[in-house]
Amino acid sequence: MTDTLDPKITAAPANAGSDENVTRPPQPRPAVVQPPALKRRVPKVSDLAPLMQFKKPEFSKAARLRRASTIWELRDIAKRRTPKAPFDYTDGAAEEEITLRRARQAFQDIEFRPGILRDVSRIDLRTDILGKESRLPFGIAPTGFTRMMQSEGEYAGSQAAEAAGIPYTLSTMGTASIEDVATAAPNGRNWFQLYLWTDRDRSLELIERAAKAGNDTLMVTVDTAVAGARLRDVRNGMTIPPALTVKTVLDASYRPAWWFNFLTHEPLTFASLSRYTGTVADLINSMFDPTLTYEDLDWLRETWKGKLVVKGIQTVEDARRVVDHGADGIILSNHGGRQLDRAPIPFHLLPEVTAALKADNSNAAVILDTGIMSGADIVAALALGADFALIGRAYLYGLMAGGREGVDRTIQILEKDMTRTMALLGVSKVSDLNPDHVRLLQR
């Protein structure tokens, strides 16, 4: 016997016993079981009935206002319902309106920085401003000629503010008197805004009337040495009272409700002033004092016993100086872009001003206006150091959209915005907002 293998016997391959190279017949795929919900069927009438509930059209003022979820939507309603001249008086600004656009853009050019895992089941929007509590961290700014926008004017604004528990500011150029506003909103917190006239006796008379009517804060505006070039008003021929030209009559034909209200209520006048006929710019240029100095502020501080705030601050130096002269607060404001075009933007100034006053150990309140169109804008301002905010155009859009109910809707929208924004930031109360919650983006 030998160890030689039989040549007929072939050696098994090295991977013998492995299934790797074995070709198998295709296996049948398991049947897919279709979920019952995806099987086609003929719909039943009983299934269709809940889907075919047609909503009855609503054309009431209340329904119109409910559909507005933003201040911009209130603005759209206001534009449809208000003649061009008064709408543009509210909506417009000076010259090319660069300042107003920049002010609104400033609020867009931020990034919120939220915190997580915080208890935000309850959001508290209360804050203290100038010695008293406000239920919300904003109030209504002074606006001139307000009953021109909608016949309820200052009465709607003051009563809505009273109901909301926030301050209301009456303008020297308001179309309701100091006394009438106090009567309309007897339990409200009413402030009075003063333009110092060349006739100091007339200014003193207004100051005394404001004190007697219960106003606890005097707001002196200092950025109107002359009137800004509000070109929309020039083009529209905006006068006091409004002129009935062919153009205005045609414009009014699309807005009969506004004209009905206008013609069936008391004629428009500046209630704190004598009757005046002419343009708004002419009134400012003829009555308001371009010679104002810090000595006049000292006189006001001695004369007015309540809280004194200065509106129209646009530099750090001026903020510090008015506080040194006795102001209890400052309002960072460029007059809504209606005076000097290309003016500083209050929101941009805010961090620097608050830092400077803090360095001076000042307790002066820092209030901000201009460009605010949402509650998120207000939250951003508070985070960067503002103690309070004022709304002007936002409230007037609501007024033009629906009178008192429209102003209520403005406040509701802003409150809802702030509540949602703070919850998403992980902040439950106003005092917890700080600069870490906002980052300014570079453009």
Q: How many CB atoms lie within 10 A of CB 12?
A: 8
Q: Which two tokens stand for residue 351?
A: 């961090």
- CA torsion through residues 46, 50, 52, 53, sign: positive
Q: Look at residues 154, 215, 176, 235 and name the one whose alpha carbon lies nearest to residue 407.
A: 154
Q: What single-letter amino acid sits at 252?
A: A
Q: Which residue has the tokens 């909608």?
A: 150
In the DSSP assignment, the letter for residue 435 is G
Q: Look at residues 173, 150, 94 and name the one whose alpha carbon lies nearest to residue 335.
A: 94
Q: Are 84 and 251 in contact (CB under 8 A)?
A: yes
**Which one is catalytic: 265, 325, 335, 348?**
335
- CA 409 – CA 157 distance, rounded (Å): 11
- CA 333 – CA 354 distance, rounded (Å): 14
Asked about 335 being catalytic, the answer comes back as yes
- CA 169 – CA 23 distance, rounded (Å): 90
Helices 294-303 and 200-212, axial angle in degrees (round to 10): 40
Write out the catalytic residue numbers. 335
